Amino acid sequence: MNTCTATPAYVNAQKAQLVGENFFIQQFQVSCLGQFSYYIESNKEAAIIDPMRDYEEYIKFCETRNSVLKYVILTHIHADFVAGHVDLAKITGAQIVLGPQAITQYQAKIAQDEELLPLGSTSLRVLHTPGHTMESSCFVLVVDGKDYAIFSGDSLFLEEVGRPDLASKSSGLTTQQLASLLYHSLRNKILKLNDDVILYPGHGAGSACGKAIGAGTVSTIGEQKLKNWALQNITEEEFVTTSTDIPAPPQYFFHDVQLNRQGANDLQNIKSKVTKALSYQEFTQIAAEGVLILDSRDIVTKGIIKGSINITQVATLASFVGILFKPDQKIIIVADEGKEEQTIIRLLRIGYENILGYLEGGFDNYVRNGGEVQQLNIVDLKDFLDTKGQPQNHVFIDCRNPVEFKTSGIVPGSLMIPLFQIENQLDLIPKDKTLHIYCRSGARAKTAATILLKHGYSDFVLIQNAGLEHIVKEHQIQVQKIE
């Protein structure tokens, strides 16, 4: 199953699909963004919470279940992806629902705190939990008068909470003030729920909406009372200090907030406009204008198109693009044949719509026509660590995130330059030495290498689909600890 589409998560043991006597819950996962959305049904009435922009799977699911979509619910105005709520409402006639204080430019029900939304023989109770944003709300499924499950959006994750730094500009509050609101929301609302209430979070591990979200997809309030640092007996000051110690959000977040507030362009219209096959001649002509050549291929051992940036489909393509490039960036695509539309959809999910097309026939077509190719020196682990007796002529570059430097250590002596800072720190990277570039899995290292190639670097080595963990395991390297 391709979990980078909005596909159902059939994991009954983890309650990702839950069937009750008079209700049904289905969790949808989009792992490349660490995003969860939910389908809830009772007596053939359905609600969808936090849908992705590519909404077709939800429509199909409703048809399969023979249900009528009554509500499309946003737990808040999202920053990390463009939601499909407006398109879903137009197609199905469902009512868009957001929590208190939400401001939108489309028709929506702004629910009140503790309001009950009838759904078949159940209901969804609104819990206003400001902090991540001012309108952030959780929705509690009430079955036979009992709180059964909570859909917590970005207020509470597994072992983490939502970042409190995204709504400062729109709310007029500081990040610290928003963190204080979240501290009280957790204690005055969520912690008052019974321990057996099932927790369905808005995001999982890998999402930038929380600092260190734990593994897993489903939990309970009781389990999080034991495992989640934010629910422990800590002071407000301690909570604020910890929750605000977080890297800056990706630049595209604020672009997506605006799209979700005003309503994004119709998905089918924009998709048909940008899904355009380009001949070799058309592609090279557009490339010469200085646009971003986005290479989404998984395997690049044959080389890359000169000047292109490789961000593989296996990696978090959408979030990497959103970190490295501005939302108005003009883009042409080189993809594995048959995966062009997947690349386009991932870009549209984060509101990157300035796509001029994709190279018909892909990389092989480019080579057949004599296009200029650059090589990436991808080697095995042994050769990666080999400095040929001249360590002074070699530099290791760790392009992971700062939190990973601290938790896992580094190859001794490495330059610590996160991927998103590579272009801003070229003055630290020597051109007269062999660069050994690594990350956790190899994906970020490939992207970093293609960025460096574009800036005139050529002497470097990479490991194919491997990173620090493999280096340590295979060669017993003693990592350098970072405080």
- The pLDDT, as a whole number, for residue 8 is 60
pLDDT digits (tens, 9 = 90+) for 371-423: 999 999 888 878 888 888 787 889 999 999 888 898 889 988 899 999 999 99
- The pLDDT, as a whole number, for residue 355 is 98
Amino acid identity for residue 103 in this structure = I
Judging by beta carbons within 10 Å of its beta carbon (0-12, 13-18, 19+), is residue 315 exposed, middle or buried? buried
Count of residues for the chain?
A: 483
pLDDT digits (tens, 9 = 90+) for 260-297: 999 999 999 999 999 999 999 999 999 999 999 999 99
Q: How confident is the model at residue 175 (pLDDT cuts 50, 70, 90)?
A: very high
Coil, strand or helix: which one is 157?
strand
Higher pLDDT, 67 or 21: 67
Phi, psi dihedrals of residue 166, rounded to the nearest 5°: -95, -20
Distance between CA 368 and CA 387 in Å, rounded?
A: 36
Distance between CA 426 and CA 430 in Å, rounded?
A: 8
13 pLDDT above the threshold of 70: no
List beta partners, residue 395: 435
- The pLDDT, as a whole number, for residue 3 is 45
With vertex at residue 291, the alpha carbon angle to CA 287 and CA 297, rounded to the nearest 5 degrees, is: 75
- The pLDDT, as a whole number, for residue 453 is 94
Q: Is the torsion defined by CA of 21, 153, 400, 456 positive or negative?
A: positive
Residue by residue, what is the 3-state secondary structure of 293-313? EEECCCCCCCCEECCCEECCC
66 pLDDT above the threshold of 50: yes
- The pLDDT, as a whole number, for residue 143 is 97
Q: How confident is the model at residue 1 (pLDDT cuts 50, 70, 90)?
A: very low
- The pLDDT, as a whole number, for residue 367 is 97
321 pLDDT above the threshold of 70: yes
Q: How far apart are the first and last CA of the chain?
A: 40
At 323, list the tokens. Answer: 């970190």
Residue with tokens 């991932």: 346
478 pLDDT above the threshold of 90: no
Alpha carbon 333 to its chain's center: 20
391 secondary structure, DSSP code: G
Phi, psi dihedrals of residue 235, rounded to the nearest 5°: -80, 160
Question: Among candidates 444, 435, 433, which has minimal Cα distance to 467?
Answer: 444
List beta partners, residue 41: 24, 46
Mean pLDDT for the chain overall = 92
With vertex at residue 295, the alpha carbon angle to CA 289 and CA 297, rounded to the nearest 5 degrees, is: 160
Q: Which run of H or E residues covers position 127? A: strand 122-128
Number of Cβ within 10 Å of residue 203's Cβ equals 25
Coil, strand or helix: which one is 209?
coil
Do residues 309 and 447 lie in contact, with contact meaning Cβ atoms separated by under 8 Å? Answer: yes
Distance between CA 233 and CA 32 in Å, rounded?
A: 34
Coil, strand or helix: which one is 205?
coil
Amino acid identity for residue 76 in this structure = H
Coil, strand or helix: which one is 153?
strand
- The pLDDT, as a whole number, for residue 254 is 94
Residue by residue, what is the 3-state secondary structure of 231-278? HCCCCHHHHHHHHCCCCCCCCHHHHHHHHHHHCCCCHHHHHHHHCCEE
- The pLDDT, as a whole number, for residue 466 is 83
Q: Residues near 233 by Cβ (< 8 Å), separated by ≥ 6?
A: none
List beta partners, residue 95: 71
- The pLDDT, as a whole number, for residue 204 is 95
Higher pLDDT, 474 or 34: 34
Identify the weakest region by mean pLDDT among 143-157, 250-264, 356-370, 462-476: 462-476
362 pLDDT above the threshold of 90: yes
At 4, list the tokens. Answer: 């980078």
Q: How confident is the model at residue 471 (pLDDT cuts 50, 70, 90)?
A: confident
Distance between CA 139 and CA 47 in Å, rounded?
A: 11
Average pLDDT of the residues in 215-231? 97
11 pLDDT above the threshold of 60: no
